[in-house]
């Protein structure tokens, strides 16, 4: 009977991770990435994390997504993963990190996608709270019937 609450709590955690990822992506969307920090599109493999790369290959900020997977016995596990595609080059000759052509790297963040993710996470959070409230009401009704 308590597995419904455990499942809902893991859903709450996953929804909060999605909001955290989107908020971080939006807050860092205008971070400049110097030419030596931009990558050519090759993503780190699962076993190679961004912090394992040499400092000159690591971008200042790398957008993230939340990868959710089911957990045996119910629930969900939420982990941050690097977002695709890699940073994009934009023309900004006034940026201190711009190359000789005036190009600078920026995290490839789509504001619309991030706001949709935040809205979906909000609805998932509310649904999981409702599940917990319903489970509590059912337990309360059961205890009233027993006594």
DSSP assignment of 98-112 equals --TTSEEEE----HH
Q: Could you please report the per-residue DSSP string of 68-100?
A: EEE-TTS-EEEEEEEPSS--EEEE-TTSTT--T
- As given in the structure block, the two tokens for residue 36 are 């030596």
What does the alpha-carbon distance between residue 44 and residue 53 come to, in Å, rounded to a whole number?
A: 9
Is the model's pLDDT at 6 over the cut of 70?
Answer: yes
- As given in the structure block, the two tokens for residue 62 are 């790398």
For the whole model, what pTM was predicted? Answer: 0.74
- Separation of CA 35 from chain center: 25
Domain ranges of the chain: 3-146
Picking from 46, 26, 52, 42, the residue whose alpha carbon sits closest to that of residue 106 is 26
What does the alpha-carbon distance between residue 10 and residue 42 come to, in Å, rounded to a whole number?
A: 32
> pLDDT digits over 68-127, tens only?
999 988 899 999 998 887 788 889 999 888 889 999 888 889 999 999 999 999 999 999
> pLDDT digits over 25-63, tens only?
999 998 888 765 544 444 443 444 555 555 445 557 889
């Amino acid at each position: 009977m308590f597995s419904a609450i455990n499942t809902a709590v893991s859903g709450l955690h996953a929804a909060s991770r999605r909001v955290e990822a989107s908020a971080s992506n939006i807050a860092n969307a205008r971070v400049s990435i110097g030419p030596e920090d931009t990558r050519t599109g090759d993503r780190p493999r699962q076993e190679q994390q961004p912090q394992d790369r040499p400092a000159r290959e690591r971008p200042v900020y790398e957008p993230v997504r939340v990868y959710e997977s089911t957990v045996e016995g119910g629930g969900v596990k939420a982990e941050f993963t690097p977002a695709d595609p890699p940073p994009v080059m934009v023309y900004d000759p006034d940026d201190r990190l711009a190359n000789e052509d005036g190009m600078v790297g920026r995290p490839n963040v789509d504001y619309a996608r991030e706001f949709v993710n935040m809205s979906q996470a909000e609805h998932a959070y509310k649904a999981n709270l409702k599940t917990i409230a319903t489970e509590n009401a059912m337990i309360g009704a059961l205890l009233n019937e027993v006594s």
